[in-house]
Structure 1
Amino acid sequence: MNRRNFIYSSGMLAALSASPAMSATITGRTKPARGIQLYMVKEDMERDPISTLKQLGAWGYTQIESYGSNKGIFWGKTNTEFKKIAAGFGLTLVSSHYNPGTLDEFDRLAAQCEEIGMKYLICPWLGPQKSIETFKTFADDFNSRGNICRKYGLRFGYHPHDYPYKPVEGQLPIDVLLADTNPETVDFQMDVYYAVTEGADPYAYMKNHKGRFKLAHMRDVLRKRLPAGSKDESACDLGEGIIDFKKFITTGQDTGMRYFFVEQSRFYNETPLQSARKNAMYLKGMKLV
């Protein structure tokens, strides 16, 4: 089951700050930490979360992003328990995607995140819509959740997949969401894979909406794309496709991007953990992260 179908079937609705791991500088920029979205290794996390976190830390990841698993974003632990476990392996829980819920439920979750110093709660999925007005309604909801996050010292974010870059009634949903959300409380998490495969210019979006794209998901795009309508995605490990990740990361930093998470979705003759290790080694070799 791919990520999109998992999120849909699960009913999901829907900042590199100073730290020891980010203290070095390169060409005037703060050296970004290596992050990974735990959904990438979801089977391993479901089977043995502690061993999986230990392995990720050993490979040099220092930041993690969780998601609304069957055990919640804290994997069956309390928020403080999970923070302590992750910290024992050198990992900081920066952000999490979340399962849908009422604003009251979201408020309680935000309070738990604030208690352990998290930075973001992120909506991972809205789904294609027939009316652009529906996306304007989503923008209103984002503003409400952004206000809740601000109350707890957090930020709210939205993760666009492919559909926000597809026209609806002559408009791009991503443009409507950027225009109708409050930049003081609502940020965006760019999935560079989807921006590129949908024909958008990720650099133009970062530059034209400076400071809005604060987080990123990173996976590469195959040089030879899979046929349109394929059940698999044309994704590959970093450095094996067409995206210049040195350019992406430095441009992102120059326009306000702070958190960079690896998230592979297609595995070629390798396990998700093997892919996670390969991506960590690639980032380390770039001398940027």
Structure 2
Amino acid sequence: MLKRRNFLKNATVLAAAGSSPIASTWSAAAPQQTKKIGVQTYSIRRELKQDMVGSLTALKKIGFSHIELYGYEQQNKKGSVLGYSLKEYRKILSDVGLEPTSSHLEPPLQSIYKFGDGGGTGKGERSIQIEAYTKQNIPAIMEFWKRAIADHQELGIPVMVQPAMPVVNTVDDAKLVCDIFNQTGELAKQANLRWGYHNHSAEFKRIGLKRGEDWSSEMAITPTSYTSEIFYDFLLTHTDPALVFFEMDVYWAVMGQCDPVSYFNRYPGRFPLLHIKDRDILGSTGFMNFASIFEAGYSKGGLERYYVELEYPNPAGSTSLSQLESVKRSYDFVANAGFVK
């Protein structure tokens, strides 16, 4: 077997020549495109595990200019991306010609997932949570972010985004989360990086009522309980705009029964990044009003960058397209949309 170093060297050369197994499928040159369209690499997670270099090369040939990476992790306080060292991963991106502009990562706390359906039927919620922040685990959380900041400086990635919601049952829990978010944002700012938060749908539930009470009824509020408030709004009003930004996943906001446009209007300038997502391939379902979302994002939300993402491409029975083909068709939708800059 080739040693890892030789494999990486050879794979990079093959990809540049269009000879990588996945890259060769996308042999056509990238279309001439003035738009800078990004993609969250989670969208092609299966292909990345099969052929990292070829898959990233395919994204470049499709026309994407930059990526938001997934797969960063720390083992024994040493950072890596999907098994590659930081140096190896940065070289691959440089050779391929993709700019890493953002990264998804979260502190190493117990994960609590609730996937629901989220795809073709639109039923259920999408909740990616981690265990509650406490006085006991805060030191470990902050050490994680200090290491991550140094690693992302080495990777040349200027933006870090947390896509996992700490468990919150009361307003006091929410206040602690906001405090830690502000502290993390301050650490990033001191390193000339930016730090933000990415939602799913659970953030649009209310907090403040005692556990076991009926969240759906205002009559459940008692003199000894907090006034309820949507957690996402609480985050927006209790984090410092100079330290914490928000990357709205517009699809999961809609699935949380909230309107992205209303948030852009109510909290102007807080949403420099967006995840552009649909139930399936972008623009194929008619479920999302992307024109209004982009218009309000530019005029009110402070939109700077957006990332195409597919979490549930091709629900069962719809098509047999690969993740890369689904991403390509989504790219074509954005590239041809007159409302996207």
- Please state which band the TM-score falls in when normalised by the shorter chain: 0.7 to 0.9
Taking the aligned partners of 2:247 and 2:40, their CA distance within structure 1 comes to 12
Structure-2 residue corresponding to 1:231: none
Number of equivalenced pairs: 246
- Of 211, 217, 233, the residue aligned with 2:275 is 217
Q: Does 1:284 align with 2:335?
A: yes
Q: Which amino acid aligns with 1:132?
A: V
How far off its partner does 1:75 sit? 3.2
Q: Does 1:248 align with 2:293?
A: yes
Q: Does 1:176 align with 2:234?
A: yes
Deviations 1:216-240 (A, max 9, x none): 11112xxxxxxxxxxxxxx122112
Judging changes above 3 Å, is the alpha-carbon distance between structure 1 residues 73 and 219 closer, same or farther for their aligned structure 2 residues? farther
Whether contact under 8 Å (1:37, 1:66) holds in the other structure is yes
Whether contact under 8 Å (2:42, 2:311) holds in the other structure is no
Structure-2 residue corresponding to 1:259: 305
Whether contact under 8 Å (1:216, 1:260) holds in the other structure is yes
Taking the aligned partners of 2:253 and 2:187, their CA distance within structure 1 comes to 29
Taking the aligned partners of 1:79 and 1:165, their CA distance within structure 2 comes to 35
- Of 184, 194, 219, the residue aligned with 1:145 is 184
Structure-1 residue corresponding to 2:282: 238
Taking the aligned partners of 1:66 and 1:181, their CA distance within structure 2 comes to 25
SS in 2 for 1:94: strand
- 5+ residue gaps, structure 2, are 1-32, 109-140, 209-227
Whether contact under 8 Å (2:106, 2:164) holds in the other structure is no
Taking the aligned partners of 1:178 and 1:32, their CA distance within structure 2 comes to 29
Instruction: Provide TM-score, normalisation by structure 2.
Output: 0.67
Q: Does 1:66 align with 2:69?
A: yes
Judging changes above 3 Å, is the alpha-carbon distance between structure 1 residues 32 and 103 closer, same or farther for their aligned structure 2 residues? farther
How far off its partner does 1:129 sit? 2.9
How far off its partner does 1:127 sit? 4.9
- 5+ residue gaps, structure 1, are 1-23, 25-30, 221-234
Taking the aligned partners of 1:116 and 1:79, their CA distance within structure 2 comes to 6
Indicate the structure (1 or 2) with the bigger Cα radius of gyration: 2
Q: Which amino acid aligns with 1:244?
A: N
Instruction: List 4+ stretches of structure 1 deviating above 6 A.
Output: none
How far off its partner does 1:110 sit? 0.7
Structure-1 residue corresponding to 2:135: none
- Of 181, 189, 193, the residue aligned with 1:154 is 193
Whether contact under 8 Å (1:35, 1:61) holds in the other structure is yes
Structure-2 residue corresponding to 1:47: 50
Structure-2 residue corresponding to 1:271: 322
Q: Taking CA–CA contacts closer than 8 Å with sequence separation of 6 or more, which of the two structures ends up with the larger relative contact order?
A: 1
Taking the aligned partners of 1:137 and 1:127, their CA distance within structure 2 comes to 10
Structure-2 residue corresponding to 1:87: 94
Whether contact under 8 Å (1:58, 1:89) holds in the other structure is no
What is the RMSD computed on CA atoms of the aligned residues? 2.1
How far off its partner does 1:251 sit? 2.1
- Of 244, 253, 258, the residue aligned with 1:195 is 253
How far off its partner does 1:79 sit? 3.0
Range moving further from structure 2, 150-159 or 117-126? 117-126
Taking the aligned partners of 1:215 and 1:160, their CA distance within structure 2 comes to 12
